[in-house]
Amino acid sequence: MKPVEVTDSNFQNEVLKSDLPVLVDFWATWCGPCKMIAPIVEEIAGEFSGKLKVGKVDVDSNQQIAMQFGIRSIPTLLVFKGGKVVDQLIGALPKKALIEKISKHLL
């Protein structure tokens, strides 16, 4: 399962109305640390398929969402559950740390 491309126009349906918890990766093409965690985010999307939805927001093309959630540094990963932000992770964290943070929201 690949991450879903989330945009200003599909954010509400893909993230806020999702039945599953959603991990949203805010990134940009020019961001080095974003490129470092991209493969990890893809692995998590595959490993947690059916339990977690994973989306990616390019902050350069979707500034409205980035502003709405106060994204000041990237990569920032937000975990949404029931349409609300329940966790925030900033920076290129190791996979183990990401999974630990995400797992507690999958119950």
Give the pTM.
0.95
Average pLDDT over residues 44-52: 95
Q: 24 pLDDT exceeds 90?
A: yes
- Per annotation, catalytic residue among 6, 22, 23, 34: 34
34 is catalytic: yes
Q: 35 pLDDT exceeds 80?
A: yes
Per domain, the residue ranges of the chain are 4-103
What residues have CB less than 8 Å from 8, skipping those under 6 apart? 62, 63, 64, 65
- Per annotation, catalytic residue among 15, 23, 31, 40: 31
What pLDDT is recorded for position 1?
Answer: 78
CA-atom Rg of the chain in angstroms:
12
Instruction: For domain 4-103, give its CATH number from 3.40.720.10, 3.40.30.10, 3.40.47.10, 3.40.190.80.
Output: 3.40.30.10
31 is catalytic: yes
CB atoms closer than 10 angstroms to residue 68: 11
* C-alpha to C-alpha distance for 86 and 23, rounded to whole angstroms: 10
